[in-house]
C-alpha cells in the first residue's frame, strides 16, 4: 500500500526492536507525532527535522483519548495510502502505525495530568483532551527515545504543555518548535478544514485576521485588555462563527496577563471558534523586541 522504501511498523515490540538497532548503529533519531491526514504543515515539520537526524520516524495514530464526548473521533479524516506517499516524498524513513490496543492495552489506567496551564484556553472546551495528548506523547517518547522531536506552533498550548511535561519528567531530548503554516487565504492549515463549507471558510478567516490585527495593536503600545475586549466583540458579530475564547498569555509560564501588568518579552495571542462542524484554533506570537511573528 505504501512505497517500498518506507518502513512500516505496526507494533510496539517491533518499534522497540528497531529503535535498538538504530541506537546500536549510532543513528540520531527524530520523531514527528501526527494523527495523519497529512497536509503541508505536517510536511514542513518533517522537512525541518530531516535535516537534524539520521533516522526520521513519523507516527500516525488517531488518539481516542484526546477526543471528548460528542467529538469527531469516528469521522476524523483518514487517508493512510496518501499519508505514506507524502511521507516518502519528504524522506521519512519509517512510519509507526499502531492500533489503539497497542497504545492502550487492556487495563491501561495511568495518565499524564496537564496541570494548571491545561485549564486555560482550549482546556475548558475540551475536557480531558490534553491528558490524552500528553499521555500518548509520553508513551511515544518512551518507546522511540528520540534525540529530537518537533511540534508545530499552530497548536501552541499543546507545544507548551509537551515541553513542560518533558522538563518536569526529566526527558532530555530536544523538542523543536515548528512553524504555523497557512493556506494562501490565511487560514491556519488543519486536517479539520475539510469540514468547512465555502461560506464557513470565508467567515473563519475572521479569526486569523482578528488575531493579527490585535497583535499589531498591542505591539504598537495599545491597552491589551481593552483591545482584547473590542476584538472579542468583533468576533462575536460574525454570524457563522461561535467564538470560544480569545486570550493573551505569557509564553514563559502560560499565564494570563492581568490589567495594568507590564508586558513580558514573549507573548502569544490564542483564539478558537466553531464554524459549522469544524473547531478552529489559531495564534500569533509576539516575541522579543515586540516584533509580531505571524
| Active site positions, annotated | 42
Query: Rounded CA gap, 154 and 158, in Å?
Result: 9
Return the C-alpha cell found at 124: 475548558
Strand 7-9: give its sheet, edge to edge. Answer: 7-9, 94-96, 55-60, 29-34, 148-152, 174-178
Task: Please name which of 118, 121, 149 lies closest in space to residue 134, comparing C-alpha atoms.
Answer: 118
At residue 22's C-alpha, the angle toward residues 135 and 90, to 5°, is: 75
Task: Please name which of 48, 111, 113, 34 lies closest in space to residue 76, comparing C-alpha atoms.
Answer: 34
Q: What are phi and psi of 151, to 5 degrees?
A: -135, 140
Would you give the DSSP letter of residue 124? G
Task: Please name which of 58, 6, 2 lies closest in space to residue 30, comparing C-alpha atoms.
Answer: 58
Amino acid at each position: 500500500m505504501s512505497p517500498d522504501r518506507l518502513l512500516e511498523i505496526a507494533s510496539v515490540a517491533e518499534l522497540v526492536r528497531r529503535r535498538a538497532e538504530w541506537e546500536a548503529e549510532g543513528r540520531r533519531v527524530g520523531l514527528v507525532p501526527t494523527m495523519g491526514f497529512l497536509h503541508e504543515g505536517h510536511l514542513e515539520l518533517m522537512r525541518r527535522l530531516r535535516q537534524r537526524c539520521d533516522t526520521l520516524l513519523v507516527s500516525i495514530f488517531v488518539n481516542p483519548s484526546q477526543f471528548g464526548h460528542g467529538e469527531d473521533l469516528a469521522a476524523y479524516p483518514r487517508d493512510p495510502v496518501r499519508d505514506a506517499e507524502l511521507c516518502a516524498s519528504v524522506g521519512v524513513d519509517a512510519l509507526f502505525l499502531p492500533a489503539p490496543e497497542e497504545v492502550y492495552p487492556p487495563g491501561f489506567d495511568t495518565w499524564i495530568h496537564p496541570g494548571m496551564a491545561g485549564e486555560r484556553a482550549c482546556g475548558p472546551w475540551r475536557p480531558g483532551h490534553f491528558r490524552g495528548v500528553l499521555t500518548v506523547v509520553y508513551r511515544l517518547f518512551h518507546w522511540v527515545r528520540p534525540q529530537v522531536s518537533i511540534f508545530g506552533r499552530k497548536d501552541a498550548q499543546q507545544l507548551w504543555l509537551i515541553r513542560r511535561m518533558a522538563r518536569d519528567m526529566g526527558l532530555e531530548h530536544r523538542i523543536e518548535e515548528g512553524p504555523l503554516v497557512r493556506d494562501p487565504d490565511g487560514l491556519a492549515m488543519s486536517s479539520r478544514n475539510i469540514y468547512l463549507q465555502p461560506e464557513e471558510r470565508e467567515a473563519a478567516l475572521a479569526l486569523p485576521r482578528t488575531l493579527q490585527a490585535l497583535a499589531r495593536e498591542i505591539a504598537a503600545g495599545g491597552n491589551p485588555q481593552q483591545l482584547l475586549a473590542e476584538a472579542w466583540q468583533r468576533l462575536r458579530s460574525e454570524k457563522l462563527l461561535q467564538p470560544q475564547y480569545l486570550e493573551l498569555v505569557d509564553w514563559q509560564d502560560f499565564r494570563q496577563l492581568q490589567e495594568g501588568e507590564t508586558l513580558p518579552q514573549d507573548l502569544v495571542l490564542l483564539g478558537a471558534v466553531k464554524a459549522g462542524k469544524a473547531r478552529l484554533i489559531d495564534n500569533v506570537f509576539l516575541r522579543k523586541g515586540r516584533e509580531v511573528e505571524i
